[in-house]
């Protein structure tokens, strides 16, 4: 934490200086419009835009449960405070109803609102900047044909200096390079389509890449996994840590249905992503799977089959001796076996039916460097994606001791990886984070 603070302090000074020398600290306002040019709202454009809005998951950040579609007000926690998304419905007073295409385009690419204020990169314009012009027009058509909802902006909870928007000019100078999308000559057309969708509108790389102290994606650690919204987003492609290598079919299953037989379910912030992919154009979702498969080193088929058999065999039957009699294991693991027996084994057992969950040894939650996602699914349950709606897990109430114990057991039983350290403290933290919400 300390180094983070120092780094931030130094960088803020750098930002002020940088901000000061940029000509574009106070961009000009773009005139309000009364009427949108109907040619920009043609029906086929709206249909194309709807598909892009699904791929881009705009609703995940702009639609608050129980409120009007795209009317904003969703709280996005960042290391700098809480930022609230804005109303992007065509309401003239509280939404973007007076925005011309030029104003929309500038916001999506440069992160500047119609009046000239800089926008926070919690809005992934660093990814949207490389969207093609045709796609940008389609998105505009879609957004501007939604129902207008009156919903005033919710003020952000940011402290100085982060609440001072002109500083973002410095941030952009350092990190927002607006590199146009470049197809990879080593990829075929479909894979490049997937790459385009994933890196721009789909902003997959926004969650799956670590960020520096100022919240910018670290290009040298591209897709190496990151913490988002209190969850761990796994490393993807060449950096994947999945014990059974991802194949094209696995990716397609996971992205369409939110579940893969060799990797389990899309939980947490990923649920919303796959639910919107479910509503997107099939060819586009398949293209993203094709791109991912292309950047993932293939595992030898024999080795893959052996891994699957081995990990499946780790599932326990209800008749298993959970006292772990005669086994040399840490006390926490032994006690965790009892928690597993009481709270987990009725579902997490030998797969006598396809409807049962896959072996926990296949899941990222159990193979991850920290028990973060495991704690989330145990305490919060799993609200399954639309494509796998029967795979529900109810929230389970456990004490911090039992939560730490069951995590120790699961890690020991289902992986060969080192123990998670300080499980008791981590479990207490996870429980108190939940009650704070
Ligand atoms: C990861 C969250 C996230 C996603 C995904 C997202 N946005 Fe946003 N968006 C935000 C936030 C937060 C803001 C407000 C930023 C600020 O106030 O500085 C914003 C602002 C905007 C603005 C500027 C509006 C204004 O009043 O200033 C537009 C336009 C916009 N988003 C459109 C979209 C579209 C279209 C999509 C889908 C393609 C999308 N956003 C996806 C978080 C998101
Ligand atoms: C809002 C953040 C967010 C976005 C955007 C996002 N992901 Fe994820 N993703 C996650 C999280 C968190 C997980 C872990 C889910 C779990 O543990 O069940 C995940 C899991 C995955 C996995 C499983 C990897 C593994 O090894 O288990 C794949 C594959 C994946 N995401 C692909 C994508 C693709 C493709 C996109 C873009 C279309 C995308 N993600 C966009 C947060 C995100
Ligand atoms: C009512 C049945 C049920 C119970 C009880 C249950 N689970 Fe689950 N669990 C599921 C289902 C269904 C899934 C979805 C995965 C699948 O179907 O492959 C799941 C998935 C998981 C995952 C993977 C999450 C991911 O993001 O990939 C973990 C970890 C997990 N459970 C841990 C536990 C632990 C630990 C317990 C006991 C404290 C427990 N579960 C109890 C049904 C259950």
Q: Is 62 near ligand 1, meaning CB less than 6 Å away?
A: yes
The ligand minimizing its distance to the Cα of 91 is 1
The answer to whether residue 62 scores a pLDDT higher than 80 is yes
The ligand minimizing its distance to the Cα of 201 is 1
Give the pLDDT score at 183.
96
The answer to whether residue 54 scores a pLDDT higher than 50 is yes
CA-nearest residue for atom 22, ligand 2, is 234
Burial class of residue 429 in the structure, from the number of CB atoms within 10 Å of its CB (0-12 exposed, 13-18 middle, 19+ buried): middle
Residues 2, 346: Cα–Cα separation, whole Å: 44
Residue 166 Cα to ligand 3 middle (Å): 46
Read off the pLDDT of residues 354-404 as tens digits, 9 standing for 90 and up.
Answer: 999 999 999 999 999 999 999 999 999 999 999 999 999 999 999 999 999
CA-nearest residue for atom 7, ligand 2, is 270
Give the position, in ligand 1's atom list, of the atom nearest the Cα of 95.
26
Q: Is 125 near ligand 1, meaning CB less than 6 Å away?
A: no
For residues 287-316, give the mean pLDDT. Answer: 96
Residue 167 Cα to ligand 3 middle (Å): 44
Give the position, in ligand 2's atom list, of the atom nearest the Cα of 251.
29
Residue 319 Cα to ligand 3 middle (Å): 19
Give the pLDDT score at 1.
37
The ligand minimizing its distance to the Cα of 266 is 2
Average confidence score pLDDT of the chain: 93
For residues 279-293, give the mean pLDDT. Answer: 98
- The band of 37, judged by pLDDT with boundaries at 50, 70 and 90, is confident
CA-nearest residue for atom 9, ligand 1, is 123
Residue 239 Cα distances to 235, 296, 297, 382, 391, angstroms: 5, 8, 9, 26, 28
Q: Which long-range contacts (CB under 8 A, 24 or more apart) does 313-320 make?
A: 314/359, 314/360, 314/361, 314/413, 314/414, 315/348, 315/349, 315/350, 315/351, 315/359, 315/360, 316/340, 316/345, 316/348, 316/349, 316/350, 316/413, 317/349, 317/350, 318/345, 318/346, 318/349, 320/345
Is residue 237 within 8 Å of 295, Cβ to Cβ? yes
Residue 148 Cα to ligand 2 middle (Å): 31
Q: Is 263 near ligand 2, meaning CB less than 6 Å away?
A: yes
Tokens 């000009």 belong to residue: 28
Residue 328 Cα to ligand 3 middle (Å): 27
Q: Is 295 near ligand 2, meaning CB less than 6 Å away?
A: no
The ligand minimizing its distance to the Cα of 105 is 1
Residue 270 Cα to ligand 2 middle (Å): 5
Give the position, in ligand 3's atom list, of the atom nearest the Cα of 339.
38
For residues 66-71, give the mean pLDDT. Answer: 96
CA angle 256, 258, 264 (to 5 degrees): 130
Read off the pLDDT of residues 88-127 as tens digits, 9 standing for 90 and up.
Answer: 999 999 999 999 999 999 999 999 999 999 999 999 999 9
The answer to whether residue 214 scores a pLDDT higher than 90 is no
CA-nearest residue for atom 8, ligand 1, is 123
Residue 358 Cα to ligand 3 middle (Å): 9
Q: Is 407 near ligand 3, meaning CB less than 6 Å away?
A: no
For residues 53-74, give the mean pLDDT. Answer: 96
Q: Nearest CA to 36 among 133, 139, 128, 144?
A: 144
């Amino acid at each position: 934490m300390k180094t983070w603070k120092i780094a931030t302090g130094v960088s803020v000074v750098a930002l002020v200086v940088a901000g000061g020398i940029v000509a574009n600290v106070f961009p000009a306002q773009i005139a309000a419009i009364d009427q949108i040019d109907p040619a920009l709202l043609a029906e086929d454009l709206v249909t194309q835009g709807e598909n892009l809005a699904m791929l881009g998951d705009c609703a995940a950040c702009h639609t608050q449960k129980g409120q009007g579609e795209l009317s904003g007000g969703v709280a996005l926690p960042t290391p700098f405070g809480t930022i609230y998304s804005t109303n992007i419905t065509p309401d003239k007073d509280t939404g973007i109803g007076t925005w011309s295409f030029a104003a929309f385009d500038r916001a999506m690419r440069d992160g500047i609102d119609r009046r000239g204020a800089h926008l926070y990169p919690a809005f992934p314009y660093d990814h949207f900047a490389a969207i093609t012009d045709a796609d940008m027009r389609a998105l505009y058509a879609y957004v501007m044909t939604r129902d207008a909802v009156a919903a005033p902006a919710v003020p952000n909870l940011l402290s100085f200096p982060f609440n001072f928007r002109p500083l973002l000019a410095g941030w952009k100078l350092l990190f927002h390079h607006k590199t146009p999308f470049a197809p990879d000559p080593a990829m075929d057309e479909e894979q490049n389509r997937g790459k385009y969708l994933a890196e721009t509108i789909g902003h997959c790389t926004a969650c799956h890449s670590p960020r520096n102290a100022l919240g910018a994606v670290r290009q040298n650690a591209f897709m190496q996994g990151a913490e988002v919204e209190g969850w761990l987003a796994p490393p993807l492609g060449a950096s994947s840590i999945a014990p059974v290598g991802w194949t094209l079919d696995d990716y397609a299953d996971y992205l369409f249905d939110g579940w893969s037989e060799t990797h389990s379910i899309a939980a947490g912030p990923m649920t919303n992503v796959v639910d919107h992919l479910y509503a997107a154009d099939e060819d586009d979702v398949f293209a993203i799977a094709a791109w991912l498969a292309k950047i993932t080193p293939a595992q030898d088929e024999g080795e893959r089959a052996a891994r699957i058999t081995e990990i499946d065999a780790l599932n326990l039957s209800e008749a298993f001796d959970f006292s772990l009699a005669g086994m040399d294991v840490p006390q926490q693991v032994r006690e965790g076996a009892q928690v597993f027996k009481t709270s987990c084994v009725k579902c997490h057992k030998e797969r006598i039916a396809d409807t049962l969950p896959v072996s926990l040894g296949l899941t990222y939650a159990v193979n991850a460097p920290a028990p973060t996602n495991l704690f989330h699914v145990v305490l919060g349950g799993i609200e399954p994606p639309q494509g796998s709606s029967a795979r529900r897990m109810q929230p389970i109430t456990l004490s911090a001791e039992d939560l730490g114990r069951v995590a120790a057991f699961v890690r020991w039983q289902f992986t060969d990886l080192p123990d998670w350290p300080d499980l008791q403290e981590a479990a207490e933290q996870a429980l108190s984070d939940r009650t704070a919400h």
